[in-house]
Structure 1
Amino acid sequence: MITFVGAGPGDPDLITIKGRKALEKADIIIYAGSLVSPEHLAHAKEGCEIYNSAKMHLDEVLDVMVEGHRAGKEIVRLHTGDPSIYGAIQEQMDPLEKLGIEFEVIPGVSSFVAAAAAIKKEFTLPNVSQTVILTRVKGRTGVPESENLESLAAHGASMALFLSVGHIEKVIESLIKGYGRDDVPVAVVYRATWKDEKKIFGTLKDICQKVQDENIIKQAQILVGDFIDTDYELSKLYDKYFTTEYREGIKR
């Protein structure tokens, strides 16, 4: 079996129990060395073959998987965060499927939820935002024109931007145009859950300079939206006057 595992955002304890168990029994581990904490490898069993995919291209990664599978070995492909978000796993899974090789995916804690936890905020607040947009700006890999940042920001939803802090000026320019105002709260979380985690707060008007002053150019989430700093309504979920399937609301 080949198992794609989400390692979580940084803190090695944030991997799932199922993911940790897969690591412990693996004969081969291919891990994203540029982002995944090396502390995960301490759980590899003796004699496990370990490959750093940061130094490999796709064909090399697939060759290790296919050869290991044919040799009857348990293989873990360890990705940062959750592998389904900017994990480039589809291009690995499709060739395996064509070869009739079984695999599974174990989800992980994504950096966007780790960043929200770091700043102790909730993306979805009643009467503020019930939608979260995950996106990034165009870099070496393009973005469909229909998903340009300005048009997405026009929805006024909560946003989490991956892989974009190195283009912070372009990001802020597009967001101001999309939201139609420059007082929208912003939080930039560098290396969420790592020991050197850093949090920067501001608005679309001043966050760019603050980020540049801290020399943050990668490995950061940009969180944007009124959910970061605004008044909100209490939910109906725990409203004592609200009747649910499990409790009778108190009569006024």
Structure 2
Amino acid sequence: MGGDLMTVHFVGAGPGAADLLTLRAAGLLARADVVLYPGTYLDEEVLGHCSPDTRLVDTQHLDLDQIMRHLVDADRDGLDVVRLVSGDPSVYSALAEQTRRLDEAGVAWQVTPGVPAYAAAAARVGRELTVPLVAQSIVLTRAQARSTAMPETEALRHFARTRATLVIHLAITRIREVMSELGADYGDDCPVVVVFRASQPGEVVLRGTVADIVEQVEQAGLRQAAVIMVGRALDPRGGGDSYLYDPARDRSTTA
């Protein structure tokens, strides 16, 4: 299956559903000799796009050095390699540290985007996250527990002051502290949606408010792979109309 020019492909696996990959991603998986995938977060049906001859490597128990050895060795053996990442490679994928090491090893690489988990979560509840007159910004962030340190300038309390729509990753085990930190700026009645394993079998969707979502999450026993969305844009009753489609707008110009 290997081609003339070997490249390590970082491919967004999307939120989990096998039919939410891009056409490009599906094609790369079909042609790959070796596929490294995150077994913790990925529905195995996604791997159905691979050839029966593809060598599959689950990375959930591998450290960075071990992952890099698989990538570099496969490339040096003249094999096409796909490194699947959950969601989209631009968000919390460790793309930067892996590609930096590939550059040092002289290995070519490319990136194929995927459907991010937060987009799948918003679609699941049918909500636009940027609603006119309510919120026009989305903050993608995470909470810190047993993870890489957060810059002080990116503390959740700073983002809360914007009252933008917050999308919080890797924070489900700290949801009590998160809601406590957001209450003063967003209000106890602010809508919150939690989606566990969006688009995958076993998906769980919880709808609530800053005041009551913690109890729902704890009763559901959610511990990982969940996206938390907070903001008034999640309320279907609010908002205005977009200027873009306003009948009174002058459409003789493109501005």
Normalised to the residue count of structure 2, the TM-score between the two structures is: 0.92
The within-5 A match list for 1:187-198 is 187-198=193-204
Q: CA-to-partner distance for each residue in 1:175-223, whole Å, 9 max, x for gaps?
A: 113x152121111111111132221111111111121122222211110
Counterpart position of 2:221? 215
Percent same amino acid among aligned pairs? 35
Of stretches 81-90 and 193-202 in structure 1, the one that deviates more from structure 2 is 193-202
2: CA distance, partners of 1:173 / 1:52: 37
Partner residue, 2:122: 116
Spell out structure 1 runs of 4+ moving beyond 2 A. 243-247
Equivalent residues, number:
246
The answer on whether the counterparts of 2:186 and 2:231 sit within 8 Å (CA) in structure 1 is no
> 2:214 aligned with 1:202, yes or no?
no
- Alignment match, 1:67: 73
Cα deviation 1:6-29 (Å, max 9, x = unaligned): 000011110100001000000010
Report the counterpart of residue 9 of structure 2 in structure 1. Answer: 3
Which range moved further: 38-47 or 181-190?
A: 38-47
Distance (whole Å) between structure 1 residues aligned to residue 46 and residue 138 of structure 2: 30
Structure 1 alignment gaps of length 5 or more: 248-252
What is the RMSD computed on CA atoms of the aligned residues? 1.4
Task: State how far apart, in whole Å, the 2-side matches of 1:170 and 1:116 are.
Answer: 23
Pairing 1:240–2:247 present: yes
Aligned residue in 1 for 2:112: 106
Selected match of 2:163 from 156, 159, 164: 156
Aligned to 1:144: 151
Name the amino acid aligned to 1:145: E
TM-score normalised to the size of structure 1? 0.93
Equivalent residue, structure 2, for 1:41: 47
2:176 pairs, out of 169, 179, 188, with: 169
Return the letter of the residue paired with 1:125: V
- Residue by residue over 1:32-52, the C-alpha shift from the partner in whole angstroms, topping out at 9 and shown as x without a partner, is 111111112222223211100
1:108 to partner: Cα distance: 0.4
Deviation of 1:245 after TM superposition, in Å, equals 5.7
Q: Distance in 2 between matches of 1:159 and 1:212?
A: 20
Question: SS at 2:217's partner residue?
Answer: helix
Q: Secondary structure at the residue paired with 1:78?
A: strand
Q: Does 1:19 align with 2:17?
A: no
Find the aligned partners of 1:78 and 1:231 in 2 and give their Cα distance: 38
Structure 2: stretches of 5+ with no match in the other structure = 1-6
* Partner SS state of residue 64, structure 1: helix
- 1:185 to 2:191 alignment: yes
- What is the aligned partner in structure 2 of residue 226 from structure 1? 232
C-alpha distance in 2 between matches for 1:136 and 1:209 = 20
The worse-fitting range, judged by mean Cα deviation, of 199-208 and 13-22 is: 199-208
Q: Is the 8 A contact 2:139 2:165 kept in 1?
A: yes
Matched residue type, 2:140? L
Distance 1:154 1:14, change over 3 A: same
Compared CA separation, residues 161 and 75, structure 1 to 2 (3 A):
same
Mean CA deviation greater in 236-245 or 91-100? 236-245
**Corresponding letter in the other structure for 2:178:** V
The 3 A distance-change label for structure 1 pair 129 and 51 is same
State the alpha-carbon separation in 2 of the partners of residues 14 and 71 from structure 1.
Answer: 31
